[in-house]
């Protein structure tokens, strides 16, 4: 039977942390600080973990190259959210009766009483979480933006005080592992096919998302997208107080769009608030803003504070991020476009530039193919430049609809874009793929993209590869 993580029950006992990525390191550091003995176990070679181990100190022991039976000496385990639920290491722990907890639930066990707000969904989580945090900050509440957005909860646990507001971006991986997670307010923005290489079935993925409200009751609130059929279906099983947003007004919606403004009226109230949306592109960002507004209203934030937050919000790095103009090309970084639906949202947001988009696609595919991109690519793009392991699949799915230039690397894709682009065109990185085949994560990919582009702002394009690039372009055009 699953039990909550109770620090008192495990005090001074041995902990094992499985996976020493960002959240694993944060969990290990927190447990060490609280007096636990910690053993780290990771699939990476031991030599790659030495620098991390030096940061954690002499009391931290570790192994690399896989998970040995040493993990069975622990009283409890903390699991990396990226570890597959069917991992042999987890099976060993379960067979030995050793409880396994998520980094998020371990961190929550050390927090004082706080206001907990959770944001999940397939797309839009980070923008919505950042905007929600801005809403609470505008209401002069001490607010922490944590979780999947980049900073693990465990990394900030010692800085959080009683009464603070904690806004968490939570992924399906984190929710899957968090059995006793119960936020005061939460939102499910949307659900489309994603991460099926991990969850295996759409049903498992949806069930993971539903954990965001599973333990809520009427004292809590969950916000739902009334226009998303899967989200709407999930709302039926929620016992929380429910709020809905939709693009069009309806009897169900507490937030909607009318007259270019976001209108909000909570159930049972006569007063309607009219808010100017944040100045970030795309209809999907209107939905994100409605969700943030409802999360604020659900926790007694006034309309004036929400309006201030919206007015000051400039967007989030790597999300349809306008990076200015370089040598006549407008540069847009949407490295967070890690699935097809996210890239479709970026293309819709830039639809006014139809026929002038140079679109960089590719990376590690998530399954499902790229054919859904065809109609919008045909309408908006001038050319597609492919990178990474998904390049052949993209070329096959878009064959005949657009000029496709196989580039392999991001550096080559940017170079080709500056060769074939004309003044007034837009270079858009929105890969529709994960980044892990060539980059550490989507942030690493986005920052590398901006670094490459910056070179073209200060110097002429490199000449050493000009002949090779022209050869690739000619070959691609002959296809």
- Residue 1 clears pLDDT 50, i.e. is over it: no
- In a 3-state reduction of DSSP, which class is residue 139? coil
Q: For residue 386, tell me if it sits in a domain.
A: yes
- Residue 9 clears pLDDT 60, i.e. is over it: yes
Residue 463: the pLDDT is 43
Of 241, 99, 103, 255, which is closest to residue 171 (Cα–Cα)?
A: 103
Burial label for 117, CB within 10 Å (0-12, 13-18, 19+), is: buried
**Phi–psi pair at 333, nearest 5 degrees:** -105, 110
Report the alpha-carbon distance of residue 120 to residue 172 in Å, rounded: 8
Q: For residue 1, tell me if it sits in a domain.
A: no
Mean pLDDT, all residues of the chain = 91
Of 69, 65, 78, 60, which is closest to residue 24 (Cα–Cα)?
A: 78
Is the same domain home to 363 and 435? yes
Residues 6+ positions from 207 with CB-CB distance below 8 Å: none
For the entire predicted model, the pTM comes to: 0.84
Residue 138: the pLDDT is 98
Is the same domain home to 98 and 147? no
**Domain-terminating residue out of 76, 102, 128:** 102
- Residue 275 clears pLDDT 90, i.e. is over it: yes
CATH number for position 88: 3.40.50.720
CB 88 within 8 Å of CB 251: no
Of 310, 305, 273, which is closest to residue 288 (Cα–Cα)?
A: 310
Is the same domain home to 332 and 282? no
Q: For residue 179, tell me if it sits in a domain.
A: yes
Residue keyed to tokens 């900073």: 151
Is the same domain home to 446 and 330? yes
Complete DSSP assignment for 142-165: -EEEEETTSS-HHHHGGG--TT-E
117: its two tokens? 């707000």
CATH number for position 239: 3.40.1190.10
Least confident of 160-169, 187-196, 429-438: 187-196
- Residue 466 clears pLDDT 80, i.e. is over it: no
Of 363, 365, 360, 414, which is closest to residue 383 (Cα–Cα)?
A: 360
- Residue 287 clears pLDDT 50, i.e. is over it: yes
- How does pLDDT run across 103-153, given as a tens digit for each residue? 999 999 999 999 999 999 998 999 999 999 999 999 999 999 999 888 999
Q: For residue 360, tell me if it sits in a domain.
A: yes
Q: Where are the alpha helices (DSSP H) in 201-359?
A: 202-210, 229-235, 283-298, 303-312, 340-349
Residue 97: the pLDDT is 94
**Which domain covers residue 341, as residue numbers?**
321-478
Residues 6+ positions from 312 with CB-CB distance below 8 Å: 134, 138
Q: For residue 154, tell me if it sits in a domain.
A: yes
CB 107 within 8 Å of CB 157: yes
96: its two tokens? 């030995």
Is the same domain home to 137 and 186? yes
Average pLDDT for 400-404: 90
- How does pLDDT run across 67-100, given as a tens digit for each residue? 999 999 999 999 988 788 889 999 999 999 999 9
- Beta-bridge partners for 63: 41
Residue 196: the pLDDT is 54
Number of compact structural domains in the chain: 3
**Domain-terminating residue out of 312, 338, 361:** 312
Is the same domain home to 49 and 134? no
Distances (CA, A) of 243 to 147, 232, 251, 290, 296: 23, 11, 11, 11, 12
Is the same domain home to 337 and 188? no
Give the rounded percent of residues in the chain with a pLDDT score beyond 70.
Answer: 94
Q: For residue 4, tell me if it sits in a domain.
A: no
Q: For residue 5, tell me if it sits in a domain.
A: no
Is the same domain home to 43 and 164? no
| Confidence category of residue 464, pLDDT binned at 50, 70, 90 | very low
Is the same domain home to 48 and 169? no
Is the same domain home to 238 and 121? yes
Average pLDDT for 4-22: 89
Is the same domain home to 126 and 64? no
- Beta-bridge partners for 358: 383, 427
Residue 461: the pLDDT is 44
Q: For residue 59, tell me if it sits in a domain.
A: yes
**Domain-terminating residue out of 292, 312, 332:** 312
Average pLDDT for 388-413: 94
- Burial annotation 402-439 (CB, 10 A radius, 16+ → b, else e): bbbbbbeebbbbbbbbbebbeeebbbbbbbbbbbbebb
Complete DSSP assignment for 375-442: HHHHHHEEEEEEESTTHHHHHHHHTTTS-EEEEESHHHHHHHHHHH--TT-EEEE--SSBSTTTSSSH
Is the same domain home to 194 and 300? yes
| Confidence category of residue 316, pLDDT binned at 50, 70, 90 | confident
Element (H, E) at 130: helix 125-138
Residue 460: the pLDDT is 45
Average pLDDT for 39-62: 91
């Amino acid at each position: 039977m699953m039990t909550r993580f109770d620090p008192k029950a495990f005090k001074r006992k041995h902990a094992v942390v499985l996976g020493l990525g960002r959240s694993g390191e944060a969990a290990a550091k927190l447990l060490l600080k609280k007096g636990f003995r910690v053993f780290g176990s990771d699939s990476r070679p031991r030599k790659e973990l030495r620098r991390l181990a030096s940061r954690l100190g002499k009391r931290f022991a570790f192994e690399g190259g896989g998970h040995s039976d040493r993990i069975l000496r622990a009283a409890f385990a903390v699991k990396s959210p990226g570890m597959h639920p069917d991992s042999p290491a987890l099976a060993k722990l379960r067979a030995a009766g050793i409880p396994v907890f998520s980094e998020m639930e371990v961190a929550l066990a050390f927090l004082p009483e706080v206001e907990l707000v959770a944001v999940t969904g397939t797309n839009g989580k980070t923008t919505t979480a950042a905007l929600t945090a801005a809403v609470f900050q505008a209401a002069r509440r001490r607010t922490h933006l944590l979780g999947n957005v980049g900073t693990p909860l465990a990394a900030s646990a010692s800085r959080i005080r009683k009464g603070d507001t904690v806004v968490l971006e939570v992924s399906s991986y984190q929710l899957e592992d968090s059995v006793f997670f119960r936020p005061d307010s939460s939102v499910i923005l949307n659900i489309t096919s994603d991460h099926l290489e991990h969850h295996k079935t759409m049903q498992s993925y949806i069930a993971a998302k539903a954990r965001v409200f599973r333990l809520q009751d009427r004292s809590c609130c969950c916000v739902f997208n009334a226009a998303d059929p899967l989200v709407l279906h999930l709302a039926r099983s929620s016992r929380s107080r429910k709020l809905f947003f939709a693009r069009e007004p309806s009897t169900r919606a507490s937030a909607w769009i009318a007259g270019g403004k976001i209108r909000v009226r909570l159930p049972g109230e006569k007063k309607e608030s009219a808010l100017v949306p944040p100045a970030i592109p795309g209809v999907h960002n209107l939905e994100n803003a409605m969700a943030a507004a409802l999360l604020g209203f659900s926790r007694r934030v006034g309309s004036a504070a929400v309006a201030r937050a919206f007015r000051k919000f400039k967007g989030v790095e790597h999300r349809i991020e306008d990076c200015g103009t370089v040598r006549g090309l407008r540069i847009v970084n949407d490295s967070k476009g890690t699935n097809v639906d996210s890239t479709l949202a970026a293309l819709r947001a830039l639809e006014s530039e139809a026929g002038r988009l140079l679109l960089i696609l590719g990376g590690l595919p998530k399954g499902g193919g790229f054919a859904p991109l065809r109609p919008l690519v045909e309408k908006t793009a001038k050319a597609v430049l492919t990178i990474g392991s998904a390049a052949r699949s993209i070329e096959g799915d878009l064959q005949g609809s657009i000029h496709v230039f196989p580039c392999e690397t991001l550096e080559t894709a940017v170079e080709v874009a500056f060769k074939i682009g004309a003044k007034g065109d837009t270079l858009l990185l929105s890969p529709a793929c994960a980044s892990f085949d060539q980059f550490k994560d989507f942030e690493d990919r986005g920052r590398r993209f901006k670094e490459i582009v910056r070179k073209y702002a200060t110097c002429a394009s490199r000449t050493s590869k000009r002949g090779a690039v022209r050869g690739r372009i000619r070959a691609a055009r002959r296809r």
